[in-house]
Structure 1
Amino acid sequence: MRRFVLAVDRLAAVIARLAQGLAAAACLGCLALVSVAVAARYFFDRPQAWSDEVVGWLVVATVMFAVAEAQRRGEHIGVDWLVDRWTGARRNAVLGLGALSVAVVCAVLIYEGVETVRFTVMMGVKSNALPDVPLWAIQALVPIGAGLMLVVALAQLLRWAAGLPPVETEAGGPGRHE
């Protein structure tokens, strides 16, 4: 059982790190696009109306691809004063409850995100600024990001259920592999 849990944990770490790379690329894309848009507007008097919408999409991509790694490292929203002050079984129980809460929220985000995408596909909604881009492609980032974070939360729950201690970050918090 221990080997299985550790293998799942390693797989979740790889997935989260790959997604983090996509988040970094989206963030760099934001920087590049905003820089080009500012130059076009102020140096060439040619504002690009579509760039604001695309930057918004890239911000969503950045967040949704980064949340899994934040959860894995224990840097996601948590009740730090409980985790930091408690040790042993109480600390592990709080971490397990936190991972379970994240998993439930992820399941809701996946379900609602898929429903939103289905509705948008049914209605045929397209981008205002770029009419060739269907909005469902952008909205799909929400259930994808929630699915990535769900993988991490389930790996954390497996670890907890197997009685293994949570992985620790360099700062001493739950999250990163030893």
Structure 2
Amino acid sequence: MHDQTEGGTADVPLFPDRIVTGLIRLCGGLSTALILWIFVQIVVAVTRRYVFDTPLQWSDEMIGYLLVTLVMLGASEALRRGDHIAIDLVSARLPPAAARLQRGFTHLAVMGFAAVVGLSIRDSIVFARGFGSYSVGYIEIETWIPQMPVLIGAVLLFLTAALGLYREIRGTRR
């Protein structure tokens, strides 16, 4: 889809493209905010433990939940930006057509991985809700609640890879 402008034509992102990209960027921003929140929480926990000799009992457990959340919310933004670790010994030397096929295959592989993770955690969430299980530890929380960021992250990762595949097919890689 192209839009006529004074200087010629410019690519106009499709409606779903803008929604998915905006959602991914929002979750990437939340992931960044969680890094800062975890840092503050660690500073408070260390200060309480070693300065005031009154440790927070729930801090380590909460930090664990937040770390999973920040990774799962940030993974799709890293994929969108191309910031994941990559080994390009072979792919950097591929001719353009083969490189395009390789990138398409990579997007399909990520979509497959995200689907497996998403379906597995969905089953786990359904079971946890039906069974009424709670976490063990200082924070007694229904186990499906800290599992939700994994499902959200898997869906976002799938959408990011699908968008990348779509762009690769159309030849509008960004």
Same fold (TM over 0.5): yes
**CA offsets, 1:17-61, max 9 Å, x none?**
101011011111110111111011011111112000000011001
Q: Which residue of 2 aligns with 1:129?
A: 138
1:68 lines up with 2:72 in the alignment: no
**2:79, 2:95 → 1: CA distance?**
20
- CA RMSD in angstroms comes to 2.0
Moved over 6 A (4+): 2-5
Structure 1 residue 165: deviation in Å?
4.3
Percent of matched pairs sharing the same residue: 33
Gaps in structure 2 of 5+ consecutive residues: 4-10
Name the TM-score, length of structure 2 as normaliser: 0.86
Structure 2 vs 1, CA of residues 18 and 116 (structure 1 numbering), >3 Å: closer, same or farther?
same
**1:123, 1:144 → 2: CA distance?**
21
Q: How does 1:81-120 map to 2 (within 5 A)?
A: 81-120=89-128
Gaps in structure 1 of 5+ consecutive residues: 168-178
Give the SS at the match of 2:128. Answer: helix
Which has the bigger relative contact order, CA under 8 A and spacing at least 6?
Answer: 1
Q: Which structure has the highest strand share of the two?
A: 2
- Equivalent in 143, 152, 167 of residue 151 of structure 2: 143
Give the SS at the match of 1:140. Answer: helix
- Equivalent in 48, 51, 55 of residue 43 of structure 1: 51
- Equivalent in 156, 166, 170 of residue 173 of structure 2: 166
Name the TM-score, length of structure 1 as normaliser: 0.84
